[in-house]
Amino acid sequence: MKNLFLLSLIFICTTNYILHAQEFVNPRYNKAVFNDITVTTGIEFAQADAYDLLGFDSPEPLYLDFYEPTGDTSTKRPLVITVFGGAFLAGSRDAADMVAWCDSLAHRGYVCASIDYRLGFNVTYDASAVRTGYRAVQDARAAIRFMKEYHDVFGIDTTQIFMLGNSAGAITAIQASYLEESDRPAVTYGIPGSWAESNDLGCIDCSGNSYQHTIDVKAVVGFWGAVLDTNGIDSSDEAPILMIHGDNDNVVLIDNGLPFGLPTFPQMYGSRTIHNIRTQLNLESTLHVFPGEGHNFYSDGGFPGVYWDTLFNMGIEFLCMNNTYCDTSLLRPTIVPAQFDIANPMTGVETMENANQNAWILYPNPSSSYINLDFKVPPTTSTQVSIYNAQGQQIRLYTNIDQFNVWDISDLPNGIYYVHTQSEYYQQSKKLTILK
């Protein structure tokens, strides 16, 4: 009887400890915690007049695909609305990257809506392109109003709505989140002398559906995006933004210029210009510039390209930092100092047992041409990064370290190397395999 009592006491205490730990340490939104997801396709959220070269009234339905964790009992979940790319001429809500984002987000506990928007414009003059961009913004905002109208059906917390877009989708997501009625381009009221585009497109929230809701996006993620007019960036645009761009992008320029370099497109202002203005206004803005990379580089060579994991991890971390329900302590792990012996580079190398205590992550690994170092604990002015060969010889030394770094290692031969970071707070090393 005594032994039975002790066993029962141990069981109760252990159960209480587990429940208490689960209450305060929830990996949801940081990790894939659901085995299965449910996708509901073809949900109509709007009807809107499509672009027609002849100017006929031709309303078309707009649909979204809704992704959610299977069996999830939560009734207030953060929503990510994704917007595909394609120069406002092509693309679809089931594009490979949009499916990947929504699938991965739903496995982590988010709900996700991949949306349609109206495509098409007269490629011979820029005013028509401006109007199609405005129609896309109207459609994205109609999707937000629809999701807020039926938040109980979809199990959404309407204070936790995020926008994410790629290329034209990023342009749409950014401007749908920040644009105000006073920012409307003049050509959206009609183009004089144009048979097809003399009509007024209506107010920013006067298209698609008649649901009455405010558009208050929590945060925005834009991949190689831009805006039409920097005058629309002002102190009211409080939602934080993460922008990722290659500095060799000639489709949507990182600073400013004509998309594709064609005069039939309007002047656009890219991620770096947006970031600089927002920084001057003390608005939250994060920009990651990838040296030498062009447009849509997470799809280079087909999707997913070598950069997909890198950019996905950035997006997941940014969403968590702005998601009220996400345990951000999991993004800032406690660092256990590691000893490092130059004569024995294996000392302090990452293992599975201490992987959750790493100050930074290294990828891709193995690598053939470049490596990324993403610091989970922000580096200081004293932080240095070295690369050692298997003989313990230092062959690289990097200073002036940023939170995210991309380094070219294409000149190094195949083999085993060790990447070592050092600051006043910790030292840590990781094994790197170079394989070409």
pLDDT in tens, 328-346: 777 654 444 444 444 455 4
> Token digits for 95?
């594009």
What is the per-residue pLDDT for 61?
A: 94
Look at 329 and 293; give whichever has higher pLDDT. Answer: 293
What is the per-residue pLDDT for 17?
A: 37
Residue 18 lies in a domain: no
Specify whether 199 is located in the same domain as 337. no
Highest mean pLDDT pick, 21-25, 155-159, 182-186, 196-200: 155-159
Pairing of the two strands 415-422 and 384-389: antiparallel
Looking at the 3D structure of the chain, how many domains does it have?
Answer: 2
- The phi and psi torsions of 232 (rounded to 5 degrees) equal -80, -10
- How far is it, in rounded angstroms, from Cα 24 to Cα 31? 15
Residue 248 lies in a domain: yes
Residue 16 lies in a domain: no
CATH of the domain at 113: 3.40.50.1820
What is the per-residue pLDDT for 297?
A: 87
| Entry pTM | 0.74
Specify whether 312 is located in the same domain as 397. no
Specify whether 319 is located in the same domain as 337. no
Specify whether 338 is located in the same domain as 427. yes
What is the per-residue pLDDT for 194?
A: 79
Give 56-86 pLDDT, tens digit per residue. Answer: 667 899 999 999 999 999 999 999 999 999 9
Q: Give me the amino acid identity at 29.
A: Y
Specify whether 359 is located in the same domain as 302. no
Task: Select from 328, 348, 378 the last residue of a domain.
Answer: 328
Cβ neighbours of residue 322 closer than 8 Å, sequence gap 6 or more: 162, 218, 219, 240
Specify whether 108 is located in the same domain as 145. yes
Residue 8 lies in a domain: no
Look up the domain containing 324 and give its range: 24-328
Q: Give me the amino acid identity at 23.
A: E
Task: Select from 288, 306, 328 the last residue of a domain.
Answer: 328
